[in-house]
Amino acid sequence: MTYPPPGGTPDPYQPQQPYGQQPSYDPTSPYSQDPYATPSSGAPSSGQPYGQQPPYGAPSSGQPYGQQPYAQPGYGQPGYGQPYAQPGYGAMPAPTNTMAILSLVLAFFFAPAGIVCGHIAKKQIRMTNESGEGLATAGLWVSYIITIFYVLICTFAILVPIIAAGSSSTY
């Protein structure tokens, strides 16, 4: 963009400055601006007065020659060795077997049901390739330990009175 001379309209037969170049700075002219002047506290940071944009092709916003900032290739953009491929999500994880979860939960409330659910879960996991093998195994271990503990308590609860009654009646 060229600036008109202070005397009026430009002469169409005189050579004009090419587009994208600013006119030279003339400190005596009231129409020229100092391109190296720092803006005052209220002026915009680009060095242009309010309401005016920099001339076409001039650097703006820190990028030389009006170039766009470089963007890394991301979602929907080519790059990383696959020019037009979208990034994949990978394989879906196998769902967790419901009976395996029930086996572990029932182990604490009703251990024999936890044992049954644990064995059913192990069979289903082998057939369907679901996840939850560790849950089923943990449910079985906890269920067996609690069941053995209850059986021992019941055995002692029955045997102790019988032994106590038999030892006192021998006299």
Closest CA to 104 of 152, 146, 151: 146
> What residue type is 157 in one-letter code?
A
- Note whether residue 122 is domain-resident: yes
> What residue type is 126 in one-letter code?
R
Domain boundaries, position 116: 98-168
Predicted local distance difference test score (pLDDT) of residue 92: 84
- Note whether residue 159 is domain-resident: yes
- Note whether residue 138 is domain-resident: yes
Q: Encode pLDDT of 92-102 as tens digits.
A: 888 999 999 99
Total domains, the chain: 1
- Note whether residue 68 is domain-resident: no
d(CA 132, CA 125): 7
Q: Which residues of the chain have pLDDT under 70?
A: 1-11, 15-27, 29-88, 169-171
- Note whether residue 161 is domain-resident: yes
Q: Structure pTM?
A: 0.46
Predicted local distance difference test score (pLDDT) of residue 170: 55
- Note whether residue 102 is domain-resident: yes
As to burial, measured by CB atoms within 10 angstroms (0-12 exposed, 13-18 middle, 19+ buried), residue 112 is middle
- Note whether residue 41 is domain-resident: no
- Note whether residue 24 is domain-resident: no
Predicted local distance difference test score (pLDDT) of residue 8: 59
d(CA 93, CA 56): 54
Predicted local distance difference test score (pLDDT) of residue 49: 58
